[in-house]
């Protein structure tokens, strides 16, 4: 047997017939930039995420970058985020010339530890970027309280968490902005790169749309320096079709998580992903188990040998990345993130996973943990 970490071909087979006519029509029209597919997608995704507005953009990274540019964040400013995330979350802060300020995660759910944020706030702080890692929401209430108290904007990095809920509220609709990624491996994946910014304030939404297109409004008139952050019409057309299937796929991911919990009940020296009480809908972008006693790499190798796709998200916390050495952080600064980087392992959770595959993965894992 062989199980990939993600099987996008299985999903495509289900959708082929539905996609074909829409794509054929789009190709015939040769209208590839902005247009009705984007407008429809913005309304559909904003509504799905309980947000007022959506701004369809070129990627999740560009969604984050666009927000910081539209907010005028730059040199001299500080932005607080987690070191235990995909690089883009902090990369965009540095790209606008601001300073990433890291705050450690809490140990159970891998999201930013809200109780440690306030100590990192300085007069230069402009924003907080919490990440809803692996499809589970960060603890937003205390984050929003700190932001209001210090007049900071909150940008939710919901790249892994479309449809996730915090106390019944959808990820990306709680802060000033929410950033989604439609990278193919995310729960709602495009046929290439794509992303979206969500916002509730109409003025903010308008500004995003202008910055997405070189800050141009009206045509050939530029009050601001924006960029080309537009989503392709092709991606919007694909995503409108896929969005209809998202709840079904999410339910399948959640079923897989339950099955793993049952199959791995007896495992020792290992923990299943924990669910926070405030996380009322976990969308399971990744299923990340934790292997203690320095055995993670041994187990990882055993799974690789059994041809089971798995990976570590993320092996090097961002404060230890060479490109951020100028920030002056050292090993030991964020011990919870550093420990997680040594002990976590993501195993397949994609919707099309069969029971036989899950059983094979669980059996291999149990044997590796006992060896």
Residue pair 287/346 in contact (Cβ under 8 Å)? The answer is yes
Say how many C-beta atoms besides its own lie within 10 A of residue 9's C-beta: 9
Say how many C-beta atoms besides its own lie within 10 A of residue 326's C-beta: 9
Q: How far is the CB of 231 from ligand PLP (least distance, A)?
A: 11
Q: How far is the CB of 87 from ligand PLP (least distance, A)?
A: 8
Q: What does the binding site for ligand PLP look like in residue numbers (CB under 6 A)? A: 59-61, 85-86, 88-89, 131, 157, 159-160, 181, 183, 193, 195
Please, what sign has the CA dihedral across residues 295, 299, 302, 304? negative
Q: For the residues of 116-144, what is the DSSP string, one character each? A: GTGGG--TTEEEEE-B-GGG----HHHHH
Q: How far is the CB of 221 from ligand PLP (least distance, A)?
A: 29
Q: Output 78 or 157, the one with its CB closest to ligand PLP.
A: 157
Q: Output 270 or 313, the one with its CB closest to ligand PLP.
A: 313
Q: How far is the CB of 94 from ligand PLP (least distance, A)?
A: 14
Q: Output 86 or 110, the one with its CB closest to ligand PLP.
A: 86
Q: Output 48 or 110, the one with its CB closest to ligand PLP.
A: 110
Residue pair 264/364 in contact (Cβ under 8 Å)? The answer is no
Side by side, the strands of the sheet bearing 99-102 are 53-57, 195-199, 177-181, 153-157, 125-129, 78-81, 99-102
Between helices 233-243 and 36-48, what is the axis angle to 10°?
40
Q: Output 137 or 357, the one with its CB closest to ligand PLP.
A: 137
Residue nearest to ligand PLP (CB): 60
Q: How far is the CB of 157 from ligand PLP (least distance, A)?
A: 5
């Amino acid at each position: 047997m062989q199980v990939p970490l993600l099987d996008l071909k299985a999903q495509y087979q289900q959708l082929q017939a539905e996609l074909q006519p829409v794509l054929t029509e789009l190709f015939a029209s040769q209208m590839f930039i902005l247009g009705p597919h984007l407008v429809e997608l913005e309304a559909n995704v904003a509504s799905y995420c309980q947000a007022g507005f959506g701004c369809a953009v070129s990627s999740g990274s560009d969604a984050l970058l666009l927000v910081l540019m539209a907010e005028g964040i730059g040199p001299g400013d500080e932005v607080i985020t987690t070191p235990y995330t995909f690089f883009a979350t902090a990369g965009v802060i540095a790209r606008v010339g601001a300073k990433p300020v890291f705050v450690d995660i809490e140990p159970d759910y891998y999201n930013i530890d809200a109780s440690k944020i306030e100590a990192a706030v300085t007069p230069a702080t402009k924003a907080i970027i919490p990440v809803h890692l692996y499809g589970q929401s960060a603890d937003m209430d205390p984050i929003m309280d700190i932001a209001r108290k210090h007049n900071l904007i909150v940008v939710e990095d919901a790249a892994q968490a479309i449809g996730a809920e915090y106390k019944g509220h959808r990820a990306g609709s709680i802060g000033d902005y929410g950033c989604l990624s439609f990278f193919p491996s995310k729960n709602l994946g495009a046929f290439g790169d794509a992303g979206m910014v969500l916002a509730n304030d109409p003025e903010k939404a308008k500004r995003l749309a202008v910055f997405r297109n070189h800050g141009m409004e009206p045509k050939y008139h530029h009050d601001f320096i924006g960029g080309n952050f537009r989503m392709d019409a092709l991606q919007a057309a694909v995503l409108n079709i896929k969005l209809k299937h998202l709840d079904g796929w999410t339910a399948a991911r959640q079923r897989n998580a339950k099955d793993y919990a049952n199959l791995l009940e007896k495992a020792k020296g290992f923990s299943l992903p924990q669910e926070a009480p405030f996380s009322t809908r976990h969308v399971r972008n990744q299923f990340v188990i934790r292997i203690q006693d320095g055995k993670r790499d041994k187990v990882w190798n055993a799974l690789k040998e059994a041809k089971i796709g798995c990976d570590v998200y993320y092996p090097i916390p961002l404060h230890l990345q060479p490109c951020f050495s100028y920030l002056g952080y050292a090993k030991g600064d964020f011990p919870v993130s550093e420990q997680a980087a040594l002990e976590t392992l993501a195993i397949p959770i994609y919707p099309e996973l069969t029971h036989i595959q899950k059983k094979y993965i669980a059996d291999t894992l149990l044997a590796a943990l006992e060896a």
